[in-house]
Amino acid sequence: MAASKSRGLGKGLDALFSSSEIEVPTEPISGAEQLDNNGISYIDINDIKPNEKQPRKNFDEEKLEELATSIKEHGLIQPVVLRRSEIGYEIVAGERRWRACRKAGIREIPSIIKDLTDEQNMLIAIVENMQREDLNPIEEAEGLNQMIDLFGLTQEEVSKSIGKSRPYITNALRLLKLPQQIRNFLSEGKLSAGHARAIAGISDPEKQVEIAEYVIEKELSVREIEKLIKELGKDKKKNAQRKMEKTPDVKRLEEDLKQIMGTKVNLSQKGKKGRIEIEYYSRDELERLIELLKSLA
């Protein structure tokens, strides 16, 4: 697989795919890695295992069947990229092709063998999937989070590695803080990343799920959900302002208590319940108020 530097691969990663040319050794290689004239190894499909750090978790079975049919007719045109593991080989890029080859009954598949570190292996898997737009928003966010948690990369370094802006990385990672139910909606394609980013602006998780379900039911666009959330914010602000407005009776009671206590008193009321807050400004004043309350008792 060849990737252009203009796609934004990070320093070191672009060199891995800077050329499609494969060096053919002067001495023959025995066993499973025997190269053909183009420098491609043909590897037994049973000696290949998936990449544990592969960010992509969901594979469309219908599309896999279509690819398998194409491979049966035309063969696998683009080799998979592998690296050696303790037993056999691990896929670096091309798991979808590998799965389709298994469905097609292909025994040996053309492969390019690379010597890669764990970090390079994971970064390439993420970059390849993102460039192909094969990841759903949650898979992408989890892949980016792996780059940060497992290998200690900063968001800035991740940004350079995958050719995306810093705000893009930040917004993607925010999706992982959403309730599991909403993350499932994203993985299933019921919500877009745009919907989820708008919902992430709401602090209440229960309200987030409620709005997500409403968006799916009504098939709202991102613009419509943004407008809805904006209106909800206005209503919440109005309700808060109404709660802050005190009736004349409450104000009178506050003034009476202030005269009794000799300090500022605040009454907050919600239905039949409420709270009395008595302010004090020193240890001596606190002790005075305690003695006063005891005498009233």
User: Which positions are annotated as active-site residues?
Assistant: 95
Residue appearing with tokens 């959330």: 229
Contact call for residues 215 and 190 (beta carbons, < 8 A): no
- For residues 12 and 87, give the distance between their C-alpha atoms in angstroms, rounded to a whole number: 27
CA-nearest of 179, 235, 240 to 209 is 179
CA-nearest of 266, 292, 269 to 279 is 266
Go through the chain and tell me how many residues it has.
Answer: 297
- For residues 141 and 136, give the distance between their C-alpha atoms in angstroms, rounded to a whole number: 9
Contact call for residues 263 and 278 (beta carbons, < 8 A): yes
The DSSP string of 2-37 is ---GGG-BPTTHHHHTS----PPPSS---GGG-B-T
